[in-house]
A and B are shown apart, each in its own frame.
Chain A
Amino acid sequence: MQATTKLLLLTAILLATPMMAMAQDGGGSTLHYMGAGLGAGIATIGAGIGIGKLTAAATESIARQPQAAKDITAAFQLPLFLLEGVAVIALAVCFVIIFTT
């Protein structure tokens, strides 16, 4: 399985390099769009994983003790919004890249 993953990664990089070269041929000033897009995507992956784990822990603990559902809901709201805020801040950086360069 690990050999397959390495092979896939190598293929992806080999295929991406001529694409990046072509992008630079077109004036060299359009590469930042790809950077902004990749950045927004990776930030969304991070937020998705974080919020998913948080919600999994929260629902599991509510399932163990249903009478504590209100307290648990109040407890996990704050980290949920902090995580979402982090993803949105990354998104704002991507907007700044796209709309000001």
Chain B
Amino acid sequence: MTARILLSLLLAVGLGFAQEHGAETPAPEAAHVEESHAEDGDHGEEHGEAHGEEHGGEHDESFSSVIMHHIVNAPLENEFARQWGISKAVLMMLISAAALILLFGMAMRSSRLTGAPKGVTNALEALVVYIRDEVAYPAMGKRWGRKLTPFLCTLFFFILTCNLMGMIPGSYTATSNLNVTATLALITLAMIIIGGVIGQGLGGYIGHMAGPPGTPTAIVPLVFLIEVLSLFVKPIALMIRLGANMTAGHIVILVMLSFIFVFKSVWMGLLSVPLAVAITILEIIVAFIQAYVFTLLSAIFIGMGLHTDH
């Protein structure tokens, strides 16, 4: 297990150094579930309470710039990090990857793979089996479902871990950065196109974009244009959906807590903090849902490409 962890971290760090800060590396399509892409970052946003001290002295900054400071990506203060182009998002992704490698490494120790699963193996197996049976098999059939379940699980667990790590006070949500979600969407787009080409042949895939057989030749260019547009709009929608959901939740929490400073009274906290707690609970639910939605929609789009009946 130590060798696996070291190899994965070496791969992750190597990939991370190949990137500019703020952008993400496409993950290799791994055959095993725990491989995740990673980058580094360090610093990160702090929520209202910790932020209160430094905010008291800054009267010339507008609220929107203060809120944006906690939500946008930025290079880190560390000299080593700046030299290597490591930003907040990059560090959070590396931490997510390391956490996933450790977690799945523990779950898949050979001593745990015989007999009934228990403990962390059981928990993770429940999620993996759910993705296989409810997301992959209905969307892609048994054969392709079995082959693509590792990819879908990678997507699901990576997005879930990044979302949940953003909930920790003092850290940054990597998936709220549009660069990160854009790379995830690009990977899904590549899989959609590859799925379409494998399922229908290269000529068949482009041919089916001209519409079902029987469309009048006059509108074939229009139908082709619409199909190509829809091919690209789907990953763009995935990207914006995930990024905006994560960003919106954090903005609402920060706005709730900033009421205390706007009204300049501590008693506002009696109203503000329970509201912020309620929205934090909602955000945790949204973290799970958004990871599931990204995975579900990716599976459905890839399945559509693999299976279009002639």
Contact = CB atoms under 8 A, between A and B. Distances in A.
Nearest to A33: B64
A89 B244 contact: yes
Contacts, number: 41
Interface stretch (B42-50, B101-109, B194-202, B293-301): B293-301
Interface in A54-101: 74, 77-78, 81-82, 84-85, 88-89, 91-92, 95, 98-99
B300 A78 contact: yes
A92 B244 contact: yes
Contact of A95 (B134, B237, B248): B248
A82 B248 CA distance: 17
Contacts of B251: 95
Contacts of B245: 88
A92 B240 contact: yes
A75 to B, nearest CB: 10
Contacts of B240: 85, 88-89, 92
Nearest to A86: B237
Contacts of B134: 74
A95 B176 CA distance: 13
Interface string B188-221: 0000000000000000000000000000000000
Given A77-B296, A81-B296, A91 B64 contact: no
A95 B241 contact: no
Given A78-B300, A91-B248, A95-B251, A85 B138 contact: no
Majority SS of interface residues in chain B? Answer: helix
A82 B245 CA distance: 13
B235 to A, nearest CB: 12
A65 B241 CA distance: 33
B30 interface: no
Contacts of B138: 74
Contacts of A81: 241, 289, 293, 296-297
A11 to B, nearest CB: 31
B166 interface: no
A84 B297 CA distance: 13
A82 B247 CA distance: 18
Interface string B64-82: 1000100000000000000
A23 to B, nearest CB: 18
Contact of B237 (A85, A91, A99): A85
Interface of A: 74, 77-78, 81-82, 84-85, 88-89, 91-92, 95, 98-99
13 contacts: A74-B138, A77-B296, A81-B296, A81-B297, A82-B297, A88-B241, A89-B240, A89-B241, A89-B244, A91-B248, A92-B248, A95-B244, A98-B64
Given A81-B241, A82-B297, A99-B64, 4 more contacts: A85-B241, A89-B237, A89-B244, A92-B247
The list of the 8 closest CB pairs from A to B, nearest first, reads A92-B244, A85-B241, A81-B293, A88-B244, A89-B240, A88-B245, A92-B240, A88-B241
